Amino acid sequence: MIPPPAPRAGRAGSGAAAGAPAGVPPGGAPSSIRDVATAAGVSVATVSRALRGLDRVSADTRRRVLAAAEALDYVASPTAASLATGRTSVVGVVLPFLDRWFFSTVVSEVEDVLRRSGYQVLLLNVGDRSLERPMVLDQRLLAKRIDGVLVLSVDLDAEETGVLDRLGLPVVTVGSALPGHDRVGIDDGAAVETAAQHLLALGHRRIAHVGGDSGTDVRRATAVDRALGVRRAMAAADVALPGQLDVVADWTVTGGWRAAEALLARRDPPTAVLAASDEMAIGALCAARALGWDVPRHLSVVGVDDHEMAVTHDLTTVAQPVRSQGRLAAEMLLGRLRGHVPAGAREVLLSTSLVVRASTAPPRREVRPRRRVVLGRQVLAAVGGDVEHARGQEERGAPTNR
């Protein structure tokens, strides 16, 4: 049984006030961290470490501290804890989107790992940097408010990098690289090279590439590396990638749909489409089917990522371990925060793997399908696309075969 805290100076012998809330010592003052330390028979520093989930506290001691804190209804003051330790137990996560599968999946894993170690997450959404927006990484706003930073697939500009350098905080990146800091990711070029090699092995020679837009600083490095992987694979096979078949989109289902429409409307359409992300590949696949193309008899489609909807569309893809990247990045940052990591930046590249489903096959014999059918706006809406764009297609009707 845990003994009650010792009476405070000047209040010895006073009784508990009638109706005083639980955990409030005689005199009506709320429990303090010193009360918890006295009750558990440990130092104040040990109580602080135990309640924040830090190491160097034995399991038995942690149980005693937690039991004492619960018995006293002790609630730590974040402000007081920050002043005492110089830590906020908050990690800033810089990301370009909150509503995209890759980023939400990584953030979910990061938050889970950090929460188990007593840290909270502050999301710093930079959004679409092609628009005029105030800078999210502001030294005046972040100083003494976060303990570390995770950067998810955003290529920071010189001013933002300077802010992180001046803050002097541990930084870990996922996807994009930041010189002098730890990084977790995949070999994007090799992943797309694997996808291209799969199509080439099936016999495809007229392959279209729908790449990510490298004109913005959101996933710019990813877009460039994946495009290089496609070209490297095709050059090794002595297969040309004509400029008219090498297009870019905005990483979305709608972007992939529109790119595929243009490619399939050509007089000499491709026999296969390789998209730099599964979301664009799903858009291309749905557009092809809406136009009457049988996938994979008339057209093969392959993506990269293994999006959660890839299996529902039977999409061949190159899978990357998205959840593992989030977990590992958070663990690396915790190592930096605890001072357990040797000096010098580390880079950890996780492996990818080809997942063959039903969207790829050897090239078709037919030049193009006999007819084109537009399924209507509900098709694109069902995969998160642009309903107005689909409505326009529906209103124009289904053109006949050339």
- Report whether pLDDT(14) > 60: no
Q: In this predicted model, what pLDDT tens digit does every residue of 303-336 receive, in sequence order? A: 999 999 999 999 999 999 999 999 999 999 999 9
| Per-residue pLDDT, 257 | 98
Residues of the chain with CATH 3.40.50.2300: 90-185+323-351, 188-320+354-396
Q: Residue 350 in contact with residue 325, Cβ under 8 Å?
A: yes
Give CATH superfamily name and number for 188-320+354-396: Response regulator (3.40.50.2300)
Q: In this predicted model, what pLDDT tens digit does every residue of 56-67 receive, in sequence order? A: 789 899 899 989
Pick from 189, 192, 223, 224: nearest CA to 207: 192
Pick from 344, 345, 353: nearest CA to 324: 353
- Where residue 175 falls among pLDDT bands split at 50, 70, 90? very high
Q: In this predicted model, what pLDDT tens digit does every residue of 236-264 receive, in sequence order? A: 999 999 999 999 999 999 999 999 999 99
- Report whether pLDDT(160) > 80: yes
State what percent of residues in the chain have pLDDT above 90: 56
Give CATH superfamily name and number for 33-85: lambda repressor-like DNA-binding domains (1.10.260.40)
d(CA 212, CA 223): 5
| Per-residue pLDDT, 190 | 98
Tell which wins on pLDDT, 373 or 342: 342
DSSP type of residue 57 = S
Q: In this predicted model, what pLDDT tens digit does every residue of 49-96 receive, in sequence order? A: 788 776 678 989 989 998 998 898 887 655 555 545 556 889 999 998
Tell which wins on pLDDT, 235 or 374: 235
The 3-state secondary structure of 256-315, one letter per residue? HHHHHHHHHCCCCCCCEEEECCHHHHHHHHHHHHHCCCCCCCCCEEEEEECCCCCCCCCC
d(CA 322, CA 308): 11
Q: Residue 160 in contact with residue 139, Cβ under 8 Å?
A: no
- Report whether pLDDT(231) > 80: yes
Question: Integer distance in angstroms from the first to the last C-alpha of the chain?
Answer: 86
| Per-residue pLDDT, 193 | 98
User: What CATH number was assigned to the domain covering residues 90-185+323-351?
Assistant: 3.40.50.2300
| Per-residue pLDDT, 398 | 38
